Amino acid sequence: MIEIRYIGPLACPFLLCATCGLAITDSSTALARWPEGATRGVDFIHKGRCDDGRDCNTDELDAFLSYLVANTTAGGQAGRVAKGEIALP
Ligand SMILES: [Zn+2]
């Protein structure tokens, strides 16, 4: 889940862990996960302590966020395509 926290006049977006509810402040310690075969329902969890071992697809959060940025800029021609992992339809 994405939450906006107001720090003074600034609206700051944070990702919250789906298990513990705390903000994820270090992407290298977290995962994006979604149900096997699903195209929606992505959530974010801390690795280890908050991973209940559910049978889901996962990506390292830092990689997932870089794909997300790439796929929402430059016409979506970067992301995983640039890494040769998938082709755009
Ligand atoms: Zn957590």
19 touches 52 (CB < 8 A): yes
75 token code pair: 């016409």
> How many angstroms does the Cα of residue 50 sit away from the middle of ligand 1?
5
Mean pLDDT within 64-85:
69
> How many angstroms does the Cα of residue 11 sit away from the middle of ligand 1?
22
Domain edges within the chain:
2-60
> How many angstroms does the Cα of residue 2 sit away from the middle of ligand 1?
14
54 touches 77 (CB < 8 A): no
DSSP lists the bridge partners of residue 32 as: 44, 59
Tens digits of per-residue pLDDT, 15-42?
Answer: 999 999 999 999 999 999 999 888 899 9
Query: pLDDT grade, residue 79 (50/70/90)?
Result: low
**Nearest-angstrom CA–CA distance, 71 and 3:** 21
Q: Does the pTM exceed 0.95?
A: no
